[in-house]
Amino acid sequence: MTKNIENDAVHMTAQEAEAVRPAEHETETVRPAEHETEAVRPAEQENHISQPFNSVLIIGVGLIGGSVAAALKALPQAPHIRGIDLDAHALEAALEAGYIDEGALPTDERVALWLGENAAAVGAEGAADAEYARSGDSKNTNTNTNTNNPCDLIVLATPVSSAQDWFERIEASNFAGVITDVASTKGLITTQASAALSKPERYLPGHPMAGSEVNGIEGARANLFAGAHWIVCPDAATEPAVFTKMHEFITALGARSITLPREEHDNIIAIVSHVPHMIASALVQLAGAHAQTNQEIFRLAAGGFKDTTRIAAGSPDLWCGIALDNKEAVAQGLQELSQIIGSFESSIKTADARSLNKLLANAADLRKAIPATWVPDSARLVEVRIPMANRSGVIAEVTGMAGKVGCNIQSIDIDHINEETAILEIILTDEGDIGRFSALLLDGGFDVSFRPLTPQE
């Protein structure tokens, strides 16, 4: 059956090939390189073991898409997972590992059925491919292998450059479920989604801040997102139910959901992720230039140099795409950095110890202020209740405020009082400035109540 899939790939166009090339992420929060071959629970906390989707379609079964599938399959009640990828070998690997229940090339007739299109029944070739997909299912515990049921969540894990084609195909299929992506930039992909989707309220942009130095399905593992930040970017149109489902989905993978406004995402991520990668690459270039005349330089480049430049080992194609997708913000960040480097250069050239010490001390203080990994105290949870009557965009506004002051949302729910009134219920951990969060809510005109929860609750 593998032969049929590989033969299909030969006839694909370059555009089709690009459309299912999996997205590999930046490695600013790289986990250890050792990979689990068996599924492991992605999070230790018992409250991180359920998610709301019965059937998930992952488009692009690479590092991130494959890790999403692996993390889902590690849950006690795993959903049925389908994967689409150009690379038949990636699909075989994901099936063999038990990460997906079914795999298909984008030309496979079953893809239309998974998207919910009013397509004809699967033909002989499609049925044969379906048999191939199930043949690798020995490690899966999910017994739902009905290839005719559409999925209720699509995770778009392709490069931004191919997202529009998939948005258009999803729109043409009248897909009725939730859509998310895992792209490292949001400006272009959200514009594409707005243009293509007639129901953009069902699309919630996402960005898991996790990665690995091992690209592709070979680097995928169930605990890749454990403790990682997973940014979501709702707007005023986002359906509250979509946000709450995705929050539950993200926390089930072991990640921590953080909300950022779509228009701010790329500027912020440029500073903490994209510009640092360019700087790491530049430092390696600097060492490389001097290594031409002094071969000992790389032998001595250990410790701090290796730690500082580790991310420079990432995929050049990936990082070229990320930088150009976010070119304005990255270029601005590099320009600002050049001015800071100029200040260091000037202080050193003029032997201005006072200025140099001030620059170094300021950097040291700022570095020490970066939060360490936070372990929430389950005995110090706070419930926040906010009326949502006659006010749109509450989810995006409130969760954005929480993210701005560093508050971590452990759970979020909507209590519907009647057809016109609902209460947004948020459970916060002990992280962040809850007092400032309260002030932002009151300044924003919200009626809000806070209540500490007892351990029994």
164 and 90 in a common domain:
yes
The overall pTM is greater than 0.85? no
- pLDDT (tens, 9 = 90+) of the chain, 457 residues, equals 333 333 333 334 334 444 455 555 544 434 333 333 333 344 444 444 689 999 999 999 999 999 999 999 999 999 999 999 989 999 999 999 999 999 999 999 999 999 987 533 334 344 444 433 444 443 444 444 455 678 999 999 998 988 999 999 999 999 999 999 999 999 999 999 999 999 999 999 999 998 877 788 999 999 999 989 999 999 988 988 899 999 999 999 999 888 999 999 999 999 999 999 999 999 999 988 888 777 778 777 777 888 888 888 888 888 899 999 999 999 999 999 999 999 999 999 999 999 999 999 999 999 888 766 555 555 678 889 988 876 678 888 899 999 888 888 888 888 888 777 788 899 888 788 888 999 999 998 888 888 888 665 5
Domain assignment of residue 411, given as a range: 382-452
Within a domain: 375: no
326 and 270 in a common domain:
yes
CA distance 395 to 392: 8
Q: How many domains does the chain have?
A: 3
Give the closest residue to 118 by CA, choosing from 176, 157, 162. Answer: 176
H-helix or E-strand spanning residue 289: helix 275-291
CATH number of the domain bearing residue 435: 3.30.2130.10
CA distance 29 to 7: 38
172 and 251 in a common domain:
yes
Diameter of the chain measured on Cα atoms: 78
138 and 41 in a common domain:
yes
62 and 128 in a common domain:
yes
- Do 213 and 314 form a contact (C-beta atoms < 8 A)? yes
CATH number of the domain bearing residue 344: 1.10.3660.10
Within a domain: 377: no
**What would the pLDDT profile of 84-127 be if each residue is shown by its tens digit?**
998 999 999 999 999 999 999 999 999 999 998 753 333 434 44
433 and 343 in a common domain:
no
348 and 393 in a common domain:
no
433 and 321 in a common domain:
no
- Do 384 and 428 form a contact (C-beta atoms < 8 A)? yes
CA angle 283, 288, 289 (to 5 degrees): 100
Within a domain: 457: no
